[in-house]
Chains A and B, each alone.
Chain A
């Protein structure tokens, strides 16, 4: 865990997006700059689902970068978010992953905070028997955990610490907003939740999500069943800022994939058949023939609609070499029994045990380990040229370059 190379790292030329130096995935100094520039900067951090907090006083604890955060539905029904840190000596206020609260009283010295994160009372403020206590001019209002501005959109809760962050729809841009609405168009039901501990820098996972080029090459399960091929219809939308993306593919018509056959790729096995093919039954629930959509919002949110498996993923950096990926599998409150079963079956495609995504949990670690001695080297991001725009081809890396465009505006390296 030593051998960081912030001193001798080579410069990264301004505006260079087709080369990414490997030191950005490992350097502790970069990690610290990201905390200020990104997580506490002008971005919308995904905090959770409204469905996780149905009633007033319902709360969950999460993170904005390294910062621990409480997200709670207040008495007026709106969702508040504030630092999970006592105004007094800095102890965690909430010690559970989720729960119900009337207020947040620190266990250490019983300083109490309301559901908006305001400090409301200090134990023994007037002292005991006229001795001790806080100075008379101590002002509760001047003390308290930092508050986040929150917005909810399509049942998602986002928070920001910066006054400069534009409203959520402006932040996402029209195209990404429309694609979020396409999926999250009615009340959400939660099917399950788990955390995948990734042995790599958070950016390697976020790039992987945006990387349409790898999907049918690394993940051979889908390709083998002719479900996802680079040659089938689809495309990549990149937000104008570059930070967010949507990739989608239309259903495959079946048959041999000539491009794959010509390249002699590992995934082109024609004779592979399933004992129980029900895992591939699809209900066209959005009525547009699009059966795979992956959407990302900078810096740490992914919405996935793979067949009928819907999930949101929250990407949380832990340190420069470790990341937590929190999956929440969802459906809708009006899912009938058949749809419930289908969502559970399709959920086998994703997550740490997923037929098509277990490799994503490991491949970031392969890069992290592969580049351990390569601080002066760079990765090559040239598929599709140097463009960072929307593209009809998924054999491109436009959305990865878009990510770096947005990133470099926020983090000056």
Chain B
């Protein structure tokens, strides 16, 4: 399995599967699975092109542990109030930027449609996932996932993770 880093097609397949399953966890309301895609010590951040260009460190969401991600799911389930809504992730092919010692730098475009309980549907977010993924034993997990949205504007609220 150590060879997967040298087998681009296999690596791409592994990453694409991971990205797709990540999206399924959110889109199919299996949020409890969402933290499992990350390492224990990880970074998950939602920001925008504008913030990145200005050199600002923050966006709308930041977590630096898997525990924080699990807490967000728990809060969404038990504490926060938001109207019924679902996402539909559409993603481009992962583009591998570098592979180094089991650590893969990869960028993937996304488009998220949000459908509200009323049936109202909107293009909620578009941008790129800028990821650092650890590949070991045929498994992939996020060390870092920076969600860079093209727009700095969020409609009403961002309840479900991107």
Chain B's nearest CB lies how many Å from the CB of A200?
9
Q: Are A352 and B51 in contact, CB atoms less than 8 angstroms apart?
A: no
A195 touches B63 (CB 8 A): no
Contact-size category for B: 35 or more
Question: Which of these, B57, B72, B78, B152, contacts A344 with CB under 8 Å?
Answer: B57
- The interface stretch among B97-105, B131-139, B153-161 is B153-161
Residue of B nearest to A344 (CB): B62
Choose among A192, A340, A355 the residue that contacts B59 (Cβ–Cβ < 8 A).
A192
Count CB-based A-B contacts (< 8 Å).
122
Judge if B48 is at the interface, Cβ distance under 8 Å: yes
Is B18 part of the binding interface, using a Cβ–Cβ cutoff of 8 Å? no
Please tell me if B46 contacts chain A, counting CB pairs below 8 Å: yes
Query: B82 at interface (Cβ–Cβ under 8 A)?
Result: yes
Closest Cβ of chain B to A49, distance in Å, is 13
Is B128 an interface residue when CB atoms closer than 8 A count as contact? Answer: no
Contact call B154/A352, Cβ cutoff below 8 A: yes
B80 is contacted by which of A195, A199, A358 (Cβ under 8 Å)? Answer: A358
User: In the complex, are the beta carbons of A348 and B80 less than 8 A apart?
Assistant: no
Give chain A's interface residue range (CB within 8 Å of chain B): 35 or more
Structural contact, B60 and A352, CB atoms closer than 8 A: yes
- Cβ-defined contact, B68 with A365, below 8 A: no
> Is the CB of B9 closer than 8 A to any CB of chain A?
no
- List the B side residues contacting A269 at CB < 8 Å: 78
Query: Which residues from B are CB-within-8-Å of A274?
Result: 67, 71
Q: Which residue of A lies closest to B156 (CB)?
A: A361
Main secondary structure of the interface of A (DSSP, over half): mixed
The interface residues of chain B lying within 8 Å CB-to-CB of A279 are: 68, 71
Contact with B along A206-250 (1 / 0, CB 8 A): 000000000000101100100000000000000000000000000
25 contacts between A and B (CB under 8 A): A190-B54, A191-B58, A192-B58, A193-B50, A193-B152, A196-B157, A199-B155, A199-B156, A220-B80, A221-B80, A267-B79, A272-B79, A275-B68, A275-B70, A275-B71, A329-B58, A344-B62, A348-B61, A348-B72, A352-B60, A353-B60, A353-B159, A359-B157, A362-B156, A365-B156
Known: A192-B59, A198-B156, A348-B62. 10 other contacts (CB 8 A): A190-B54, A191-B58, A192-B57, A193-B152, A224-B79, A272-B79, A275-B65, A278-B68, A347-B62, A358-B82
